[in-house]
Amino acid sequence: MTRLSPEEIRFFKKNGYLIKRRVMDENLMARARERLWENAPPEVDCNNPDTWVGPIKRYNEEGTGNVGGEYSWKYKGIGGEDWIVRMLATDPSIWGMAEQLLGEGNLVVPERIRGIYCLLPEGNIPQRPVTCHTDAHPFHLGVVGYIDDVAPNGGGFWVWPKSHRMFYYDYHTQHGNEQTEQYEKHVAFFNQQPYVDCHGGAGDIIFWHHRLGHSAGHNRSKRIRKAVLCDFCKKDLEKTTDEPPCEDMWRDWHGIHQIDADC
């Protein structure tokens, strides 16, 4: 069973994210990759890496939520299957670490994950500007996992360390989406700051605070970036969503509230 050390918890509080290596089950990841290829857009061929380079035609499948186009291919329809929820969210190690952060018995068991999100290689297009954002929907703790290796500059999750400590106070409420006028100023500030490219291997996961500045990385590699995403929510999310940000931003993080992280 994988658990977070006090040093890792301090790192998470200070920086707003934490990478844990080789956590997800190998057999379930193999199943996820197999199912992903069965759902590939028509012009993307598993056996021909030349076809992996974007852009691809836009599509939006009725009923499944599967969408794609340009450099993105999102297999959302798979997200509600028990085994994939187990792979990323209810696996005893991952669930246990999420409970370490937010408190045992406090989390809602996710019914689904967001799905498998692919980023296609960008080929030779010019480098695009790098911008961070925070997510709009209410949740507490995000987790991103890789079901295949992700090289540096290969479309890994990009994070702006410590930005959660500013963005948390740039909203009128704890989990709502109404920003103060400081938000855009801080986005402009962090866009000039170095980000961390969370590249890694199959099975790696990244925990991230819900107000952390982040972005999908730009995939300049030759492989398709294959990630799974899920959001952990506390049972009291609805009750606390419209509260103003707390003076102590870790008040609701019962597992780590008392741990001093110099932040």
Per CB under 5 A, the segment of 49-57, 84-92, 129-137, 187-195 that binds Fe ion is 129-137
Per CB under 5 A, the segment of 54-62, 63-71, 128-136, 245-253 that binds Fe ion is 128-136
First to last CA, the chain: 29
Q: Residue 18 or residue 44: which is nearer to Fe ion going by CB?
A: 18
Shortest CB 214 distance to Fe ion, Å: 6
Q: Tell me the C-alpha distance between 28 and 147, whole Å.
A: 9
Q: Tell me the C-alpha distance between 218 and 239, whole Å.
A: 37
Shortest CB 117 distance to Fe ion, Å: 10
Q: Residue 99 or residue 135: which is nearer to Fe ion going by CB?
A: 135
Q: Residue 4 or residue 143: which is nearer to Fe ion going by CB?
A: 143
Q: Tell me the C-alpha distance between 179 and 117, whole Å.
A: 27
Q: Residue 8 or residue 135: which is nearer to Fe ion going by CB?
A: 135
Q: Which residues 163-202 are close enough to bind Fe ion by CB under 5 A?
A: none
Q: Are strands 205-209 and 72-75 parallel, antiparallel or unpaired?
A: unpaired
Q: Where are the alpha helices (DSSP H) in the chain?
A: 6-15, 26-38, 82-85, 92-102, 164-167, 182-191, 237-240
Q: Residue 135 or residue 149: which is nearer to Fe ion going by CB?
A: 135
Q: Tell me the C-alpha distance between 190 and 197, whole Å.
A: 15
By CB under 5 A, is residue 25 in contact with Fe ion?
Answer: no
Q: How many amino acids of this chain bind Fe ion (CB under 5 A)?
A: 1
By CB under 5 A, is residue 135 in contact with Fe ion?
Answer: yes
Q: Are strands 56-60 and 196-198 parallel, antiparallel or unpaired?
A: unpaired
Shortest CB 156 distance to Fe ion, Å: 14
Shortest CB 133 distance to Fe ion, Å: 6
Per CB under 5 A, the segment of 39-47, 135-143, 175-183, 249-257 that binds Fe ion is 135-143
Shortest CB 158 distance to Fe ion, Å: 10
Shortest CB 223 distance to Fe ion, Å: 22
Shortest CB 109 distance to Fe ion, Å: 23
Angle formed at CA 114 by CA 171 and CA 242, multiple of 5 degrees: 25
Q: Residue 51 or residue 191: which is nearer to Fe ion going by CB?
A: 191
Q: What share of the chain is helix, strand, coil (3-state, %, to 5)?
A: 25, 20, 50
Q: Tell me the C-alpha distance between 170 and 155, whole Å.
A: 27
The binding site for Fe ion (CB under 5 A) comprises: 135
